[in-house]
Chains A and B, each alone.
Chain A
Amino acid sequence: MTNKGTSVVVVGGGVTGLSTAWWLARSGVDVTVLEKGIVGFEASGRNGGGCTHYQSPLFHEEQRLWPQMDELLGYPTEYRRERIVFQVDERKANFADGLSMRIPAGYEWEVLDGKQVRERVPLAGDNAICGVHLHFGGHANPQRTSQAYAWAARDLGVAIHQHVAVSGFETAGGRVVGVETSAGRFGCDALVIAAGPQTGKLSAMLGNPVPMAAARAEMIVTEPLPLMPTGGVDGNGLYGRQTLRGNLAYGGGPHEWYDDTPLDGPPPRPSGSVLRGLSRRLADLLPRAAHARVIRSWAGVIENTPDGRPVIERLSAPDNVTVATMSSVGFGLSPASGHAIRDLVLDGVCSFADLSKLSRARFKELSGDWRRDLNWLPPQPATPTEGAAL
């Protein structure tokens, strides 16, 4: 079976791929997205929803775009500006110093004492000792945003094929000319690989491996509580938000490295291994919510490169391919990452930021044993020990 060709095939229907498709379609490009499951159904739709990434070269564009996204997409993202981060552990009393090293000039923020934290965070308690209030950044609803990209892209004519797994690429004359999938071949003039944990493998099929390892991280969700004035509140080793419905949705804590993630199916499931640790820390962070009932948990499987930084690169060979992994921090940056990838695909260079430090070239000298060296390996079962006597 051969499908009608398209100008650009985007492999991966997560936020990065969907944003890319939307940006390309806004420029009038004919785009097809191939997604092995449902759009935004893996880590893109299951994360903390944070939109505050001052370490990234895409930060300024992230901050510029988020307040406009509802209007640009035509569908709701639940974006809200501002974040408050606070601590309940004396050892973190000076955590604002670490932020002052990193937050770029021109973004307003203030340091809070415990009393100020309690004034601004009604669910905080007497144990709050210090915090910061960022008058930029914010949070959005990951699943709603993922679907918003997908619908907005469709409205602009993008074809999104769900439940289609990519198995290989067809090259000719040094270019990728087709994508082989479980639904047949899709012809293309250009290719974008933005497939989360599968990005490395897929790119390797084209002779351009991207070193990465996948891991699972988990979150918990409580029943709804009365809305706090600022929903983007976290700290105490947690990231997360109060949703606009009022649920507390928080993650953090240990991840589990995976050997591999399949190209044709969902990654392994939630484990519950940090659910109680999350509950403990959330009850400590927001003691006035300690009665709130946890009603579900989530897990997302995300990839990291060895230094935890993205790879966003237009390959030199095949030169019509752009690969992108956001290295476990992709949701909030997605309005900007899609723009950047659109620029690389159409113009060969990002129009609004320098991305030169995000190429694969930095991994040239990487050891073949880097996962072992970094201790990024799946755990071994603990030695069975006698449980406590009944």
Chain B
Amino acid sequence: MTRPETRLILPAPDRHSIAGKTATPDEHAELVVIGAGPAGCAAATEAARAGVQVVLIDENPVSPGLIGMDVPFHFGGRATSAVQTPERLVEHVLESNPALAEAFELGVDVRLSTSAWGAWVNGPGLRSLATGVIGLADEARSWTLGFDRLILATGARDLNLSFAGSDQPGVMGAQALHALLVRYDAFAGRRLVILGSGELAIATAELARARGLEVLALVEARDAPVGDAARLAALAGQGVEIITAHVPLAAEGGADGVTGIILVETSEPGRRRTLACDTVCLAVGAVPVIELFDVLGAARAMVPERGGHVPVVDAQGATSLAHVFAAGDCTGLGGDAAAAGRSAARAALASLGRPAEAPEAVFRPVGPDALAYQLDWTRALLATGGPEVMVCLCEEVTRGELLAVQPPRYLGWSSNAIARRNLATLAQDGPLDQDQIKRLTRACMGACQARRCREQVALTMALGGEVPATSIPLAGYRAPVRPLPLAVLADGHETADMTENWNVWFGIVTQWISYDDIGTAREDEQIRAGMPY
């Protein structure tokens, strides 16, 4: 039996779409604050004093597994064994953060060792949500937390610039060093060389010295130091050498990691000197942590004077999303984080219709052009260290492979056609895009979720493509913004509708009828049989 071919057979009404399958969040809070640094603690305590039910989330102390993966900071293998038992670090985390202890006392529901791996609000392409939702996880499980208002105070993370040997234990970031020294009291190094001479490098040197560590030198790529002259002079007076017009060529190492750093003069690469140290601390810059803003789809801007890509926030801390506020370094580096936290809390309270003091306008300092500084460092490292240095450690992509837009090594692919392609030719095809470069070279595709390479890949792209560093679009952040095991992320409590009507694709039965059978009795047979799998 043959039907006329023009007869239209439509599938059954769709029961496989997301409609009706989204579970109510496992928990709900009036206000959620993410990040228990100065901004987050100030926000949480301000809101708690106003009688609002507040949940304050912080991932510290982080698990030893994440520390080993350099998440969230570039720990560089310099944590002591104390981090193997995060529960024992809790006391120290509280002791070192009086504002957090105060939040506890005010009845804020504080969740430590809890990471926020995603956040969503109702909007275009996401119409099923009744409230904002945060994805949370600890070592054992993941769950969801609904919110009426959200304040992100996620701080800043490390900026990594690589050089030969920088993948061994002992090369680390300034944020990681701060966390290990102050929050965890778990730093394994003794003799440091610090890269950079700006505010971050100076503060890092001062902290390290205050903790009884030896700081051999501050190393600056530019011809003159960039930080406060008086504080630099004080450090110099304490025996810290301020070395300008040098960058690291290579870290020397042994079984325990770094044993020294070879420095090279930027204008005369033949001139080298070696400093014996066990730790090289990168303090060239910090990066506002905007992962959750990007997952949420909040508006952002490139502001080099505030540290790079930052969310667009008003003077009180409101973002482009009605229910999401922000405070502290995640909105741009520097400024009075606690004041910003209080202000964001007041703005959030007002939007909840709660009585609140008027938000104060927060002064956001304008720092030096962070990207220009980072670019100078990147240029000097590239000029002296050459193309063989890894720019992406997880995926083993060298600077040269990035500049040449080479396919990954595991493909073993080489051809004249591909050899003609590079960043410059790609830039002629259209504006350079880091997400495109990720997929072509795999740089930034690794398990550290590009925390160790995202910025230097963008900076190297700017150099190779001969385009302004500010023109490279942000490589998008996508949930989960922390690397979580399948078994942890797995949803143990999905809705019955989700379970029953899960389909591998759209579940359109007519889509999978063999073409030759369309319009024949075999079509009916296949429709009756349902989806093949």
Contact = CB atoms under 8 A, between A and B. Distances in A.
Interface string B314-331: 000000000000000000
Interface in A111-169: 143-144, 147, 150-152, 154-155, 160, 162-163
Interface string B472-490: 0000001110011111011
A4 interface: no
Contacts of B492: 280
A230 interface: no
A72 B75 CA distance: 46
A383 B130 contact: yes
A224 B410 CA distance: 12
B378 to A, nearest CB: 24
A104 B27 contact: no
B511 A329 contact: yes
Contacts of A254: 16-18, 21, 498, 501-503
A307 B10 contact: yes
Nearest to A363: B8
Contacts, number: 321
Most chain B CB atoms below 10 A, which of A271, A274, A297: A271
Contact of B128 (A104, A295, A356, A381): A381
Contacts of A279: 486-487, 489-491
A384 B323 CA distance: 15
Interface in A227-241: 234-235, 237-239
B514 A307 contact: no
Main secondary structure of the interface of B (DSSP, over half): loop
Contact of B410 (A98, A147, A162, A245): A245
B511 A307 contact: yes
Contacts of B24: 382, 385, 387-388
A264 to B, nearest CB: 15
Nearest to A248: B486
Contacts of B430: 38, 162-163
A59 B512 CA distance: 12
B128 A382 contact: yes
B488 to A, nearest CB: 8
| Interface size range on A against B | 35 or more
Interface stretch (B155-163, B165-173, B225-233, B432-440): B432-440
B529 interface: yes
Contact of A215 (B13, B124, B449, B506): B506
Nearest to A329: B511
Nearest to B526: A101
Interface in A97-114: 97-99, 101-102, 104
Interface string A284-316: 000001111111111001001011110000000
Interface stretch (B115-123, B189-197, B216-224, B268-276): B115-123
A217 B17 CA distance: 10
B109 A101 contact: no
Contacts of A290: 485-487
Interface string B408-435: 1011010101100100000001110101
Contacts of B418: 74-75
A267 B125 contact: yes
Contacts of B131: 384, 387
B213 to A, nearest CB: 33
Contacts of B498: 253-254, 277
B503 A237 contact: yes
Contact of A308 (B413, B479, B502, B511): B511
A272 B518 contact: no
B442 interface: yes
B15 A275 contact: no
B447 interface: yes
B494 interface: yes
Interface of A: 38, 41, 45, 54-57, 59, 74-76, 78, 85, 87, 92, 95, 97-99, 101-102, 104, 143-144, 147, 150-152, 154-155, 160, 162-163, 215-217, 222-224, 234-235, 237-239, 244-245, 252-258, 267-277, 279-283, 289-298, 301, 304, 306-309, 327-329, 356-357, 361-366, 370, 373-388, 390
9 contacts: A54-B514, A75-B415, A223-B446, A234-B504, A272-B135, A291-B487, A294-B483, A297-B479, A390-B28
A-B residue pairs, 5 tightest by C-beta: A387-B28, A268-B125, A308-B511, A308-B508, A276-B491
Given A144-B439, A273-B128, 6 more contacts: A57-B515, A151-B417, A252-B502, A375-B15, A375-B19, A387-B28
